[in-house]
Structures are given as C-alpha cells and as structure tokens.
Amino acid sequence: MTPSQDAAYMARAVKLAQNGKYTTDPNPHVGCVLVKDEKVIAEGWTQRAGFAHAEVDALAKTDNARGSTAYVTLEPCSHHGKTGPCSEALIAAGIRRVVVAMQDPNPLVAGRGLQKLREAGIEVLVGVLQQEAETLNQGFFKRMRQGLPWIRSKLAMSLDGRTALASGESQWITSVHARQDVQIWRAASSAIVTGIDTVLYDDPRLSARVDFDALQPVKVVLDSQLRMPLSAKLLDNAVDVWIMTCSDDALKQQKLRDVGCKVFQVDARNGRVDLAQVFKLLAELQINTVWVEAGATLNGALLDSGLIDEWLIYMAPCVLGDQARGLFTLSGILTMQDKKCLRLLEARQIGPDLRLRYQAKTD
Ligand code: AOF
Ligand code: ZN
C-alpha cells in the first residue's frame, strides 16, 4: 500500500468517526475501515458508550477479515473497560497490518494497544492523518492530557459589538439561522455552562433541539449564592442540571437536590465560584467539551482567566448603539499594550449573520 492509499483510507475512517460525533460521549468517536486486496470489506465507528468500539463494529460486518489491513483513527484499546480490548479483537480476527492515526492519550491505553498488536506480529504504522484525528476529539484529548475540557464560548453581537440593550434585553440579536447553528453546537457538547444572571434574565432551556440522534448536554449553572429559582425552565428536566456554588446554605442546596439537580460546592475566588476549579471538576466528571452561553460578566471573567480555548461570535447586521452593553466586562484597559488579542480561525456566513471563530492567542 502506498502512503497516499493509506491516507485515503484513513480519510474515510475520519469521515466514519464523525457518525459518532453526537452520541459517544464521554468516549471519543473513532472510525475504522478494513481493507483487503485494495477493496474496503467493512466499515465501523464507535457506538454509544458501553457498546461496540469502531474496530469491533467493523469486524462484526465481515467474516472475511483475515489478512486485511485495519485503518483506525485512534490506537485500538488494550483495556477491559465497558467493552473488551479492540487490539485483541483485531489479533483474533487475523488482521495483518494496522494503520493508526494517533496514540490514545488515555492512561489506560497509552501505547499498550500498539504494543499488543506488535507483539502478535502485526505490522503497525502510526501517524497517518494525525492532525485530522486530533481535531475529531479535541475535548477528550485535552481532558486526558490536561485534566480540563475543551471550552468554547458562544456570543452574539451587533455590528457595533453589543450583546444586549442597557435594560439587559438580548433576545434576539441574530437570525433564526444562527440560532439553529447554535443548537447543533450545543448537541456536539458534553455540557452547557451558564451563569445565574442569564438564568434569571433569559430563563433559557439550554437543551439541544436538533432533528437527529444526539445525547443531551449536561446543564451547568454557576450560581455562587444559590439564587436559582425552582421555577426556572431548565429545571423542567433537572436530572442533568449541575449547580456550582460556593454557598454552604444546606437548606437551599437540599431544595435543588429535591428537584433532581446535583449541587457541587466549590471554593470562592473574588466572591464567585473559582472558574478553574469548576472546569477541573467538570473534567473529573468526564465532560469532554464545554459550550458556554453566558453574559458579559462571566465572559469577561473567563477571558481574563485564560481558560477559554475557542470563541464563536455570531455577528448580526444591526446596530444597537453606545447605550447598549458590550461583549466582555473587564477591569479598565488603559493602554493598547494591555488589549486582549484573539486569533481568527474562520469566518462564515450563516443566513444574514457572520459566524466568527477565534482561538486564544498563545504567542
Ligand atoms: C478504541 N476504539 O472506537 C474507541 C476507543 O469504557 P470503554 O471500554 O468503552 O473504553 C473507553 C475508552 O476506549 C476511551 O476512554 C478511549 O481511551 C478508548 N476509545 N478505543 O479502541 C474506539 N472509542
Ligand atoms: Zn476499543
């Protein structure tokens, strides 16, 4: 097989992995292609957590795998988790060669899957389309490597960079097209994080309303003083509502638990929940990707904290004027030297609006 053939089959495996984008959490979504005599004989992808991994899914679709090459977007696992080890399944099926996009940073695997394959005499090649495979599961990989989720913040603004009127009213600046796009990003996230002020002002449901099969993200509310009203719409189905607070008011905590919320008490920092601690806790709770939908106060604090990986800013073609509120509440920036700079990744038109995607600037 030539390097370009290897890359082409791996590109197909990357495509297949995307079938699991909305359903495999907290597992990464992985794709697998089995090739024999230059023909694809089976394709697979990761099923819901607890069900078949990509390799097992592909192997189940053929009884003719002996002597074939397996293309997998992630190192086949070596551990007995919710399912049996894929490396052993590949060995048992008589696979001759395994091409892997990248090693699994999960400490339970971390090279052991590759080692098992090599010990069984299988030819192993690692690193084909590694960058593409990294992008597939940014959240899972960041959680494994750094103990933090991949954090995106979504903002909507007018042409003049305003997110709400002076009264606080913000519904709706952007078009229905932009708002539908947001639903898809919500569905691809493990958790949606918001602040209590947004809950009190907008009363959002924070669910992912999409017309395809998707796991619902957990709703996380940063509520330092436990001001959450029991009538909030997001409590309609409170099973997946997590409240992060620094209040030790046992009565209020219990009332929220009684309606199904989980309440986590974290340290205070400047009178509010310690953001770094919140995200670390979310990673410990197996949250891979976070989608923040919050107001200027929380967004200002997050920008300052350096915790955000990516911002999605929807810009609508309207002007709200200088009495309206800006994107980020920050303590005064007095010199240009102190300005906050981001790096533009992508600009795309969504209906009449623009979607601007920025990353934190690392240099
Ligand atoms: C693979 N193929 O398709 C995926 C893998 O609890 P388990 O048994 O489902 O294992 C989950 C771990 O397996 C997950 O944390 C990650 O390291 C790896 N994911 N491995 O061989 C797959 N999704
Ligand atoms: Zn596996």
Selection from 220, 225, 228, 159 nearest residue 194 by Cα: 220
Query: Which ligand is located closest to the Cα atom of residue 80?
Result: 1
43, 55, 75, 293: which is the annotated catalytic residue?
55
ipTM of the complex: 0.90
Would the CA dihedral through 71, 72, 73, 76 be positive or negative?
Answer: negative
Whether 72 contacts 65, CB under 8 Å: no
DSSP conformation letters of 90-127:
HHHTT--EEEESS----TTTTTHHHHHHHHTT-EEEE-
Judge whether 55 counts as a catalytic residue.
Answer: yes
Q: How many angstroms separate the CA atoms of 257 and 47, rounded? A: 32
Helices (H), the chain: 3-17, 54-59, 86-92, 112-119, 130-136, 138-146, 176-187, 196-202, 250-258, 275-284, 296-305
DSSP secondary structure, 205-230, as one string:
------SS--PPPEEEEE-TT----T
- Residue 307 CB less than 6 A away from ligand 1: no
- Which atom of ligand 1 lies nearest, measured to the CA of 24? 23
Instruction: Kindly give the confidence (pLDDT) of every residue in the chain, 363 residues in length, as a single tens digit, with 9 standing for 90 and above.
Output: 899 999 999 999 999 999 999 999 999 999 999 999 999 999 999 999 889 999 999 999 999 999 999 999 999 999 887 777 999 999 999 999 999 999 999 998 889 999 999 999 999 999 999 999 999 999 999 999 999 999 999 999 999 999 988 888 888 899 999 999 999 999 999 999 999 999 999 999 999 999 999 999 999 999 999 999 999 999 987 779 999 999 999 999 999 999 999 999 999 998 899 999 999 999 999 999 999 999 999 999 999 999 999 999 999 999 999 999 999 999 888 899 989 999 999 999 999 999 999 999 876
Among the listed residues 321, 307, 358, the one whose alpha carbon sits nearest the alpha carbon of residue 163:
321
pTM, two decimal places: 0.94
What Cα–Cα distance (Å) separates residue 2 from each residue in 5, 8, 18, 163, 260?
A: 5, 10, 25, 52, 56
Tokens representing 176? 């229905």
Residues 169, 344 contacting (CB under 8 angstroms): no
Ligand 2 center–CA 38 separation, angstroms: 25
Which residue out of 32, 77, 88, 104 has the highest number of ligand 1 atoms within 8 Å of its CB and is therefore the one to mutate? 77
Write down the pLDDT at residue 209.
93
- The response to whether residue 86 sits with its C-beta less than 6 Å from ligand 1 reads yes
Q: Which atom of ligand 1 is nearest to the CA of 28?
A: 23
Task: Provide the pLDDT for residue 167.
Answer: 85
Going by DSSP bridges, is the β-strand pair 272-273/268-269 parallel, antiparallel, or unpaired? antiparallel
Atom of ligand 1 nearest to the CA of 53: 3
Q: Which of 152, 137, 116, 153 is nearest to 30 (CA)?
A: 137
Which one of the ligands is nearest to 27 CA?
1
Position 84 scores a pLDDT of 78
Per-residue tokens: 343: 């790096």
